[in-house]
Structure 1
């Protein structure tokens, strides 16, 4: 919602909504109840400050196509994910973060060889050999301390968002019904940002062309080298025909277009061959949907769900009380956790008791 939308639906002025949002004015009880009824957030959400997470830049997959409004919506949902994690982490120890040393360099000084080295180092650290496909990337990333969740929004211009929060990386995936291979590349791309671009204080310090041609390209290169190790991929590439790429997709679980790009990067096909293959993909209308996209299972985050269920099943905390602590709408929490939660939240359903006090 825009401020105008909220003002119209709540019966308050746009200026008043702006004052509340900026902190100039605190809403009175009547105004707050109007806002709550429109936004459908639990009352306790409004009783505490939602922390503003300043440390580190936020990275967006497909940023050049996404509007600022879309990016802002996804940034807010990343805060929700952190809030859910923070509550669960009171009761369960999440896996330790295991990543290579982060690069602290200016993005213009990062070489492709450094990107390759970090991709190889991550495989070794995560016990993935140098010749095999990555089987379940999301599960492996979660096992090694990266918090991944799905967002309760869809927008074809923005696939994912990531950032370090305190001492842990978070990745949030937009619910775009993307194929398994696209999702896997998105996650690898965001891990690339997390490892390569720790030296960036703010992405707003860079022009849109620098973001697209330098920072995004580096994250794509990392994803390509991580998912398709050059020597192993080269050995598996017995032909550069489109039919062979289709079969190879089932093995590497990477899109045909990404494999063609990797083949080109390795110098195994020239500009004309790459152009020919891409034109054929366009003629077949495979730009957005390729063969086997419906057959390769889409990977889902499961770590937050397992932790939530562990707390509830072991009676560490009553489910209704745990849900109340999140201070978020049920549909947002359910998407972040990856399962339905109790519809009945007795703590939140308690109505305030109003008493008339005579003033003598």
Structure 2
């Protein structure tokens, strides 16, 4: 990328990524809000003194602010738990998602990533999309990826990565926002919020976002829908896709030898999905009636299993590894030193540690020259 003295787009991205308004940033740095606005609009370039204050406050490397045009997202960005997330949280995740594309753009100069291997995404009106179409798409991917129709997916994240989907974990915690997905330049990205979620919740989150990627190419913007429409149409379709992808209807039905809550605990160990999602799937398949579903859900609440279920502390939480493997391949083969590669990525070390899945040496963090006022 071509270097410039100061790129105003980068300042705005850094501020949003840190969850700060212009007013907050102005108060913390002692720079007027109007001046920060002028910086972000490109009307004024910050002096050395003010640039140091911005760098120190936002904790981004100096090279980040002078790097060329930042990557842009294209099409609709989908957020898990969309209706509950605040606009600020969604904006923070959107910027962080663009960071992942920045990382990918650098790493892909040195290593060929797996070829994207997903069916042609559906480009149709979501209101015309039937449950049969959604389920068919989920089974089509299972068949395409050689997963069969009768057994659980062993590792959802690794399977997605093998087929060209970039899955990363972001440096952000927000209990109202689990995951976000987007196709950027033909490459699908799924980004997870660092909420310390259980294995079964993370697997469902990834499958849910995979559903968005292949079902909702026809959605130009989620802002075209009301909150209720998102929940009742788009989110419901992604949930149905995830449920079918993780638990194919016929195989799940054959495995359901009892509808007692105790048996669902045993089923969880096999399918690696939540008890609540299995109860709901059983109801969707008309294997239990309204009263039975109500009874099971009351027992789940009585047992205080709404947030923490049995086996949550036993089932291993899947982790993204693709970026980490590519990073290590570049460094271990002597293509670039770790310090030089981190410097080229031009992102804060707290972001890179999470995205790359590596622990950085504090000494390594001194790849940027220290700034001091004369």
Q: Shorter-chain TM-score: what band? A: over 0.9
The residue number in structure 2 matching 1:84 is 103
Match of 2:9 in 1: none
Decide which of 249, 253, 276 is 2:268's aligned counterpart. Answer: 249
Tell me if 1:341 matches 2:360.
yes
Which of 7, 10, 30 is the aligned partner of 2:29?
A: 10
Structure 1 residues 239 and 45, CA, compared in 2 at 3 Å: closer, same or farther?
same
Alignment partners' CA distance in 2, 1:251 and 1:129: 16
Q: Is the 8 A contact 2:343 2:368 kept in 1?
A: no
| TM-score, with length taken from structure 1 | 0.95
- 2:321 maps to 302
CA distance in 2, matches of 1:276, 1:222: 26
Match of 2:123 in 1: 104
Cα deviation 1:288-345 (Å, max 9, x = unaligned)? 0000000000000001101000100100111111000111110100100001134335
Change (3 A) 1:292 1:345: closer
- Give the counterpart of 1:174 among 179, 193, 205: 193
Equivalent residue for 2:173?
Answer: 154
Q: 2:152 aligns with which of 133, 150, 158?
A: 133
Is residue 143 from structure 1 mapped to residue 162 from structure 2 by the alignment? yes
1:280 counterpart residue number = 299
SS of alignment partner, residue 190 of structure 2: strand
Deviations 1:126-164, CA, capped at 9 Å, x for gaps: 110100000000000000000011010101000000000
The offset of 1:4, in angstroms, is 2.0
- Alignment of 1:322 onto 2:335: no
- How many matched pairs? 355
Distance 2:135 2:149 in 1: 12
* Conserved 8 A contact 2:167-2:320: yes
Alignment of 1:16-31 (within 5 A): 16-31=35-50
Change in CA separation of 1:131 and 1:346 when aligned onto 2, cut-off 3 Å: closer
| Residue 202, structure 1, aligned to residue 221, structure 2 | yes
**How many angstroms apart in 1 are the aligned matches of 2:103 and 2:315?**
30
Please give the alpha-carbon distance, in whole angstroms, between the structure 2 residues aligned to 1:352 and 1:224: 52
Q: TM-score, normalised by structure 2?
A: 0.92
Aligned to 2:53: 34
| Structure 1 SS opposite 2:74 | coil
In 1, the alpha carbon distance for the partners of 2:204 and 2:234 equals 16
Secondary structure of 2:358's aligned partner: coil
Question: What is aligned with 1:219?
Answer: 238
Where 1:238 maps in the other structure, the secondary structure is coil
Distance 1:251 1:346 in 2: 43
Choose the corresponding residue for 2:212, options 193, 196, 204.
193
Q: Counterpart of 1:194 in 2: which secondary structure?
A: helix
Q: Give secondary structure in 1 for the equivalent of 2:219.
A: coil
Q: Is the 8 A contact 1:42 1:348 kept in 2?
A: no
1:43, 1:348 within 8 Å by CA — same for their partners in 2? no
Q: Secondary structure at the match of 1:348?
A: coil
| TM-aligned CA distance change 1:86 to 1:148, over 3 Å | same
Q: 2:365 and 2:192 mapped to 1: Cα distance?
A: 31
Q: Verify the 8 A CA contact 1:3 1:14 in the aligned structure 2.
A: yes
Q: Is the alpha carbon distance of 1:26 and 1:54 closer, same or farther for their aligned partners in structure 2, counting shifts above 3 Å? A: same
CA 1:347 to 1:341, structure 2 compared with 1: closer, same or farther past 3 Å?
closer
